[in-house]
Amino acid sequence: MNVELLWGLPVISYLFLAGVGAGALTVSASVLLRGGGGGFAGQHYNIARYGAFAAPLPLMVGCGLLILELGSFEAGHWFKWINLYKTINLSPMSIGTWLLTVFIGVSVLYAYTFLPNTPGLGKGKGGLRTLLAWISVPLGVATAVYTGVLLGAMPARPFWNSPVLAMLFLVSSLSTGVAIILLIKALFPVKGKDEPRAPMVSEYFKKRDESAYILTASDLMLIGFEILVIFLFIMYAHLTVGAVKESITVILFGGTLSVMFWFGVVVVGLLIPALIELYYVIPKLLNHQPFAVPVGVEIIVPIAILIGGFLLRYVIVVAGQITGPIGL
């Protein structure tokens, strides 16, 4: 199908990276607040710290790609992106511009509070960190939802015209946020300050995996919820008459994007990680056995989830363009 795509990889990458950053910040702040600012033997604090450091960079890179897509890096148009701040109204672009700006500022300051030596904060660092965590939860959720609202606000594109799309992007963002935290945790393990140094490498990994149970179990629930939302997304389009029902065929079996959607998004990004996580979560959940996961699995599973999250945005952005517009 030869269709010119106005929104390509820069926009797709922006939606993915913004979702990862928003999910990481939301998860980090939620875990920090759940742990009382660093309780539970420091496990909650360490998870929150990974998420805090993972949140700002993806969104900043994603916004840079979006600015690139708007043509701001072309000769003579270096500051074209400033026009986004000049127009203040209730349009998705205007709201999104300010939302992303606030997100970057809050997430950077929140990550700064986790540095061991933070000049200028002094003894009030813990209180500021908790305050920013309370702000970060709704801010992260709003940013994740916005990436779906941005597409859903275009009624002329039938594939995007679904009330379920924002929820799908939110759940996917939280799942990929957990995945990036698990990946960084596996690649750069840091023991809590109150955790004794393990005498053997095997004991060290066993203790580190025990703390990862919180994230793995949460991610398993998010994957299950994401599969449900995908089902609702397809059923909503299938039960709607006209162009919306016709547009969904592009991802159904035999459609142009069916292989990428069902194999890349559903199988690789959701089902395989869920089955692997179930294999390690069930013994801990039912029999209270130690939660021990090989380091290779800790790396492969989050990567698969991140690939699935990226392919989900790719399929949705491309499908919306090759199946529309209508009413123009």
For residue 121, give the amino acid letter.
Answer: L
What is the pLDDT confidence band of residue 262, given thresholds at 50, 70 and 90?
very high
* Model confidence pLDDT, tens digit, residues 281-293: 998 888 777 777 8
* Model confidence pLDDT, tens digit, residues 171-191: 999 999 999 999 998 888 765
Q: Cα 213 to chain center, whole Å?
A: 19
For residues 37-48, give the mean pLDDT.
Answer: 66
Task: Please list, in sequence order, all residues whose beta carbon lies within 8 angstroms of the beta carbon of residue 93, skipping any fewer than 6 positions away.
Answer: 84, 150
Contact predicate 265/315, CB 8 Å: yes
Cα(45)–Cα(81) distance, integer angstroms = 37
Structure token pair of residue 292: 């021990």
pLDDT at 78: 56
Cα(102)–Cα(272) distance, integer angstroms = 36
b/e map of 157-195 (b: 16 or more CB within 10 Å)?
bbbbbbebbbbbbbbbbbbbbbbbbbbbbbeebeebeeb
Element spanning 130, H or E: helix 125-152
CATH number for the domain running over 9-322: 1.20.1630.10
Window from 70-79, 110-119, 147-156 with minimum mean pLDDT: 70-79
What is the pLDDT confidence band of residue 203, given thresholds at 50, 70 and 90?
very low
For residues 113-142, give the mean pLDDT.
Answer: 86
| Backbone dihedral region for residue 76 (phi beyond 0: left; psi -120 to 50: alpha; all else: beta) | left
What's the pTM value of the predicted model, to 2 decimals? 0.86
| Pick from 154, 142, 150, 160: nearest CA to 11 | 150
Window from 165-174, 205-214, 267-276, 311-320 with minimum mean pLDDT: 205-214
pLDDT at 4: 65
DSSP string, 52-94: HHHSHHHHHHHHHHHHHHTTTTSTT-TTGGGHHHH--SSSHHH
Cα(20)–Cα(236) distance, integer angstroms = 26
Structure token pair of residue 150: 């941005």
For residues 203-226, give the mean pLDDT.
Answer: 75
Q: How many residues does the chain have?
A: 328
Residue 230 has pLDDT above 70, yes or no: yes
Mean pLDDT of the chain: 83
Cα(68)–Cα(122) distance, integer angstroms = 39
For the chain, the maximum distance between any two Cα atoms, rounded to a whole number of angstroms, is: 69
Domain map of the chain by residue range?
9-322
